């Protein structure tokens, strides 16, 4: 699975949020500023070519549904981030966020509790 561009990721977020639908529905579920309809339609077609979406035609409309689960994409992407930026260490990742004050002590405790339950 390849890393998507920012534009493709934003489109996929709308697809995952919407479920099977047409381009107009995806556009309605995107945050501002929304891309032009034709730009999103082109991005959706590219995502289909890349194997992230599947389409079916109903009358003169195309409906698209995701072939890749959001959780699977996030997992793969996070593995790249950890490998490329944090020396393949999730400890380094958490340490970075703690030092940058992007995670609180309570959140860290919650993470520890989740780990200990597994």
Per-residue confidence at 40, pLDDT binned at 50, 70, 90?
very high
* Cα four-point dihedral sign 81, 83, 85, 89: positive
Amino acid 3: pLDDT: 82
Give, in order, the Cα–Cα distances in Å from 68 to each of 2, 5, 14, 117: 11, 15, 13, 28
Q: HSE of 32 in the Cβ direction (CA atoms, 13 Å)? A: 0
Contact 68, 1 (CB under 8 A): yes
- Give the whole-angstrom CA distance, residue 43 versus residue 101: 36
Q: Residue 118 above 70 pLDDT? A: no
Rounded to the nearest integer, the mean pLDDT of the chain is 91
Q: Residue 68 above 90 pLDDT? A: yes
Amino acid 107: pLDDT: 86
Residue the block writes with tokens 């981030």:
81
């Amino acid at each position: 699975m390849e890393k998507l561009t920012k534009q493709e990721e934003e489109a996929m977020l709308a697809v995952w949020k919407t479920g099977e639908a047409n381009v107009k529905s995806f556009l309605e579920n995107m945050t501002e500023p929304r891309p032009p309809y034709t730009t999103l339609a082109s991005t959706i077609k590219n995502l289909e070519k890349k194997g992230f979406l599947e389409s079916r035609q109903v009358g003169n409309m195309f409906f698209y549904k995701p072939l890749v689960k959001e959780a699977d994409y996030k997992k793969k992407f996070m593995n790249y981030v950890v490998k490329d930026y944090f020396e393949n260490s999730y400890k380094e990742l958490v340490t970075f966020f703690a030092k940058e004050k992007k995670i609180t002590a309570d959140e860290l405790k919650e993470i520890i509790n989740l780990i200990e339950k597994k």
